Amino acid sequence: MAKLRLVHRCTDCGASHPKWAGRCPACQAWNSLVEEIEGPDDIATLAAGMALIPAGVPRPIGEVAAEGALPVRTGISELDRVMGGGFVPGSVTLLGGEPGIGKSTLLLQLLAAWDGPTLYVTAEESAHQVQRRAQRLGAIRDGLWLHAETSLPHIIAAIDETKPELVVIDSIQTVHDPATAALPGSVGQVRGCAQRLVVEAKDRNVAIVLVGHVTKDGGLAGPRVLEHVVDTVLQFEGDRHHALRLLRASKHRFGPTNELGLFEMGHDGLAGVPDPSTLFLADRRAGIAGSAVVPTMEGHRPIVVEVQALTTAGVPGVPSRRSAQGLDSGRLSMLMAVIGRRAKMAIGDQDVYASTAGGVKLTEPGLDLGVCLAVVSAITDQPLPADLAVFGEVGLGGELRQVAHAVRRITEAGRLGFRRVVVPANSPDGDGSVRMLRAGTLAEAVALSGLNR
Ligand code: TYD
Ligand code: MG
């Protein structure tokens, strides 16, 4: 019989090392190694995972049958959008998010909306707690099974008994497999359970969703390796003090990962936000300096957001502050340098605060021009015209560069009542509903927006 041995497992990347070290030699993370017993079954689960792909003969790619790979719609359109149409039978999805963000709520609503038998395995809360939440959500229906269980073999037995099409395991970190030598709650245990579930999901052609806790910095706690094991990784984010929740895929084997799902948490659970632009602009007050409206793109969906900036005189002798919320802070610093050098505006000694209104995190290059014009508007204390929207990437030379989906951005701005839009000079024509103000440089965009320097 193969022997058990003590290893030091990195809770970040999952690599194992014979000796302890303050820093993981594989991924360079600090203080991430924990002691763990590694047993022969780790190798056995790995081998079982490999056996998933049946041996075959080479075939022309066009003749390979694609059966079984079609996603099944969930009935929750914001979720279907992110999942590229729905859940693929036999696939395993990991849903990560901070405690209290709404993972259990979303998944209970998913199982209730599903058209077929489903199973909710609660390994954290009691069956009674989940049932009470289900009552509040109106999620009680025939064909939705509830099982309070933490032991993996019992969970698999319950899947065989209830024959669901979709299973939720809440959470993977509280499930354990007695056949795995690793300690309960350890990285090896969590990874072993996930690997086994991947095998069982494929075997039964059932879709499984695993809930995973995340750490403070947003990574999935401990088993980053889970991300390699599963087919799809979803992140559920948002500010707990706001009702808005964002769902994104960071990995997806069956479709693109750039779609954004938007929900609002209310008294009766999560509701999709079909018209995010209207929501993001709801609290906007026109005529205030330091505000610019930008039609951004999230995947295939245009979303119009407000970018806000505030500038104050910095403290002499202290490096000036560049504070970004919902925006990339490195990008903000770069744009401030471009304003200083290329638009010839003295902002070096100013503290600059920039944010997206509504708490949504955006990293898209089309925001650049909005950030710059919001800052110039703040410094000069002149508001941008109320009917003006702007978008475009700003280069280090102060030039404006085209961004993707210009026409869809312009159409969305027009739908919301904006009549003029400042765009990079080479952008394609819009649908005619909005006047296009073409600018080749940031300085030209400042002038076209009616700001005097
Ligand atoms: P939950 O789904 O338990 O979060 P997670 O599983 O990610 O830890 O959601 C918990 C929060 O959501 C809790 O603070 C209460 C709030 N909530 C509502 O506001 N409305 C609701 O209908 C429900 C069910 C929860
Ligand atoms: Mg929960």
Per-residue pLDDT at 68: 56
Does the pLDDT at position 53 exceed 60?
no
316 close to ligand 1 (CB < 6 Angstrom) = no
Q: pLDDT class for 181, splitting at 50, 70, 90?
A: confident
pLDDT in tens, 421-439: 999 999 999 888 899 999 9
Q: Measured from the CB, is residue 347 less than 6 Å from ligand 1?
A: no
The burial of 159, by beta-carbon neighbours within 10 Å (0-12 exposed, 13-18 middle, 19 or more buried), is given as: buried
pLDDT of residue 220: 59
What is the average per-residue pLDDT within 343-349? 84
Q: From the CB of 102, is ligand 1 less than 6 Å away?
A: yes
Sheet bearing 5-10, strands edge to edge: 16-17, 5-10, 33-38
pLDDT of residue 221: 55
Between the CA of 175 and the centroid of ligand 2 the distance, in Å, is 14
For residue 442, give every residue at least 6 positions away whose Cβ sits within 8 Å of its Cβ, in sequence order, or none: 338, 339, 342, 343, 369, 372, 394, 398, 399, 400
Mean pLDDT is lowest, of 74-88, 217-231, 336-350, for 217-231
pLDDT digits (tens, 9 = 90+) for 283-302: 888 889 999 999 999 888 89
User: How far does residue 138's CA lie from ligand 2's centre (Å)?
Assistant: 17
Q: What is the pLDDT of residue 1?
A: 45
**pLDDT confidence band for 39 (50 / 70 / 90):** low
Confidence of residue 57 (pLDDT cuts 50, 70, 90): confident
Tens-place pLDDT, residues 121-163: 999 999 999 999 999 999 999 999 999 999 999 999 999 999 9
Q: For ligand 1, is residue 103 a contact (CB within 6 Å)?
A: yes
SS3 label, residue 180: coil
Residue 192 beta carbon below 6 angstroms from any ligand 1 atom = no
Mean predicted confidence (pLDDT) in 241-249: 88
SS3 call for 201: helix
Give 104 Cα–ligand 1 centroid separation in angstroms: 7
**Cβ of 136 below 6 Å from ligand 1:** yes
Smallest CA separation from ligand 1 atom 21, residue: 269
Confidence of residue 336 (pLDDT cuts 50, 70, 90): very high
The pLDDT of residue 306: 95
pLDDT tens track for 70-123: 899 999 999 999 999 999 999 999 999 988 999 999 999 999 999 999 999 999
Instruction: Report how far residue 200's alpha carbon sits from residue 254's, in angstroms, rounded to the nearest whole number.
Output: 19
pLDDT at 20: 86
Nearest CA to ligand 1 atom 8: 100
Q: What is the pLDDT of residues 395-425, one digit of tens each?
A: 999 999 999 999 999 999 999 999 999 999 9
What b/e sequence results for 131-152 when a residue is b if at least 16 CB atoms lie within 10 Å of its CB, and e otherwise? bebbeebebeeeebbbbbbeeb
Q: Which one of 105, 136, 210, 246 would you pick to mutate in the ligand 1 pocket, going by the greatest count of ligand atoms within 8 A of its CB? A: 105
- Measured by CA distance, the residue closest to atom 23 of ligand 1 is 269
* Rounded Cα gap, residues 93 and 72, in angstroms: 14
| Residue predicted with more confidence, 14 or 146 | 146
Which pTM value belongs to this model? 0.81
What is the residue-averaged pLDDT of the chain? 88
Residue 133 Cα to ligand 2 midpoint, Å, equals 11
- Ligand 1 mean position to 135 CA, how many Å? 13
Residue of the nearest CA to atom 14 in ligand 1? 100
State how far the Cα of 289 lies from the Cα of 312, in Å rounded to an integer: 13
| Per-residue confidence (pLDDT) for residue 226, from 0 to 100 | 86
Q: Using a 6 Å cutoff on CB, does residue 331 contact ligand 1?
A: no
Return the C-alpha torsion angle 376, 379, 382, 384, nearest 10: 30
Ligand nearest to the CA of 102: 1
Around Cβ 268, how many Cβ atoms within 10 Å?
11
Q: Report angle CA 266, 272, 273 to the nearest 5 degrees.
A: 100
Give the mean pLDDT of 31-59: 62
Whose Cα sits closest to atom 12 in ligand 1?
Answer: 102
- Dihedrals φ, ψ of 414, to 5°? -65, -40
In this structure, which residue's CA is closest to atom 13 in ligand 1? Answer: 100
Q: How many helices (H) and strands (E) does the chain have?
A: 12, 21
Nearest bound ligand to the CA of residue 172: 2
The whole-number average pLDDT for the span 368-374 is 97
The closest of 414, 368, 407, 362 to 391, measured between CA atoms, is 368
Q: How far does residue 97's CA lie from ligand 2's centre (Å)? A: 9
Q: How far, in Å, is the centroid of ligand 2 from the Cα of 90?
A: 23
At residue 22, does pLDDT exceed 80? yes
**Whether pLDDT at 215 is above 70:** no
122 lines ligand 1 (CB under 6 A): no
Ligand 1 within 6 A of 269 CB? yes
